[in-house]
Amino acid sequence: MNDGTARDPDLKKARLYFLLGCACLFIMALLWSVDRSLVAISLGLAAVCFLLAFNSRPTPAPRREGPVFQNQRDYTPRTFLSVLFGRLLKGQQTARPPDNPQRRSAAVVILLVVFVFTIILVVTLSSLFSDDGSMEAYGYFQTADNQYYNQQYDSARMNYRRAWQVNPQYAEAYVGYGKALVLQGQPDSAIIVFDQALAIDPDLKEALYEKAQVFANHKKYDEAMGILTQLVAHYPDYEDARLTLGDCYYSQNKYDEALPLYESVYVNSDSRSHILCYIMAYIYDSKGNPQKAIPLYQEALQYDSTVVDIYKRLGELLPGEDGNIYRTKAVTLNR
C-alpha cells in the first residue's frame, strides 16, 4: 500500500534545487556591478536550478474514480445524441497515450543543455567581440566627469583610473585625471599623465591643450606657445587654443600678436566674456584708439558691473555728462 512516503525524496530534492536557484539569484545581485559575465553565469545557474526543481517535483498519485451511477433516462433523440458525443469524447481521451515520465525527463534535460549552451555562448561571444570593456569604461568615465564638474576631484580621479584600467587605451580618461591633478595643485604629475594620453593618441587635442595650459600658467610661454601654435594651425576652429595663445602673447606685452587672436574669438558672440572685452579694450586704449576701446569697456560692464577701474577709465575717456555717470558710479563703488 502506497502511503506517499516514496515521494518524499523527490520533494526534498525539488526544495534543494529551488533554494540553490534563489542563492544563485542572490549572488547575481551581488555581482551585478562587478562583471557582466559573472551575472550571466549566475542567472544561467539559477535558471538550471529552477528547471531541475520543477522536474523533480513529486507527481501526485492518480486519483481512483469509483463507478458512476446514473439514473436511467428516457430514450429520446436528445439523450441519444448526448450519449453518442459523450462516448466519442471519452474514446478520444482514452486513445491518447499515457504521459511517459522518461520522455518528459529527456525533454527537460535537452532544454537544460540548450539553455546552458546558450548562456555560455552569449558570455563567450560578448567577451570575444567586446571592445576592451568599452561600455564599462565609458560608465566609469561618465561618473568621473560628473564628479569632476561637482568638484569631487578625489572621487573623479578614482573613477578615471578605473576607466583606463578597464580599457588601457582610453586616452580621454588620462586627460580627465590630469585635469583633476591640476586643480589639486599637482601640475608636474598632470604633465606626466597628459603625456600618457598623448602616447596613446598623439593627435588628441584636449591633451595637448591641457598640457599647454599648465605651461602657460607657470609662465613657460615658449613651451606653451609651441603647442598652441600647432593646435591653431591644425584646428582653426579651436577657440580655446586661440584664446590661450593670445593670453601668452598678452602676458609678454606682445599686443600686436595677441589682438588678432582675441578679435577672432570675439567674432563669436557666444565666446565673449568680461575678461576678453576688458583686455581688448585695454589694448585698444594702450594703442591710442579710444573709439574702439570705449564700447568694449562698456560691454565688459555688461558681464560684470562691479569693476571700479572700468568706470574710472570711462569717466576719463568720456567728457561732460556721459562721463559724469561713470565717475559717479566709480565713487559710489569705492564707498
Domain harbouring 164, CATH code: 1.25.40.10
In our burial notation (b when 16+ CB lie closer than 10 A, e otherwise), range 72-84 reads eeeeeeeeeeeee
Q: In this structure, which amino acid lies at residue 31? A: L
Distance in angstroms (rounded) separating the CA atoms of residues 294 and 306: 17
Domain end (from 202, 224, 252)? 202
> 165, 156 in Cβ contact below 8 A?
no
φ and ψ at 298, to 5 degrees?
-65, -40
Select the more confidently predicted residue: 282 or 56.
282
pLDDT-based confidence at residue 301 (cuts at 50, 70, 90): very high
Are 33 and 124 in a shared domain? yes
Domain end (from 202, 234, 250)? 202
* Number of independent structural domains in the chain: 2
227 domain residue, yes or no? no
Tell me what pLDDT residue 264 has: 96
Residues 6+ apart with CB under 8 A from 308: 330, 333, 334
Are 117 and 191 in a shared domain? no
Residues 6+ apart with CB under 8 A from 205: 231, 234, 235, 238, 241
DSSP assignment letter at 64 = P
pTM of the predicted structure, to 2 decimals: 0.61
262 domain residue, yes or no? no
Distance from chain centroid for Cα 332:
50
Residues 97-125: tens digit of each pLDDT:
555 566 666 666 666 666 666 665 555 55
Are 30 and 120 in a shared domain? yes
Asked whether the predicted pLDDT for residue 234 surpasses 60, the reply is yes
Residues 235-265: tens digit of each pLDDT:
999 999 999 999 999 999 999 999 999 999 9
Domain end (from 113, 129, 145)? 129
181 domain residue, yes or no? yes
184 domain residue, yes or no? yes
> 209, 172 in Cβ contact below 8 A?
no
* CA distance readout (Å), 199 to 133, 170, 204, 232: 20, 11, 10, 21
* CA distance readout (Å), 203 to 97, 104, 197, 297, 319: 74, 63, 10, 38, 53
Count of H helices and E strands in the chain? 16, 0
> 224, 247 in Cβ contact below 8 A?
no
Residues 6+ apart with CB under 8 A from 314: 294, 297, 298, 323, 326
Are 118 and 177 in a shared domain? no
Select the more confidently predicted residue: 24 or 215.
215
Asked whether the predicted pLDDT for residue 68 surpasses 60, the reply is no
Cell numbers linked to 325: 555717470
For residue 80, the number of C-alpha atoms closer than 13 Å in the C-beta half-sphere is 3
Asked whether the predicted pLDDT for residue 1 surpasses 90, the reply is no
Asked whether the predicted pLDDT for residue 69 surpasses 50, the reply is no
* CA distance readout (Å), 275 to 57, 76, 125, 279, 302: 78, 108, 55, 6, 11
Task: State which residues form the domain around 25.
Answer: 7-57+104-129
Residues 124-146: tens digit of each pLDDT:
555 544 544 678 999 999 999 99
Tell me what pLDDT residue 18 has: 78
Are 123 and 195 in a shared domain? no
Cell numbers linked to 17: 534545487
For residue 143, the number of C-alpha atoms closer than 13 Å in the C-beta half-sphere is 15
Are 141 and 173 in a shared domain? yes
Are 147 and 197 in a shared domain? yes
Distance in angstroms (rounded) separating the CA atoms of residues 261 and 184: 30
Asked whether the predicted pLDDT for residue 7 surpasses 60, the reply is no
Average pLDDT of the residues in 291-310: 96
Are 19 and 115 in a shared domain? yes
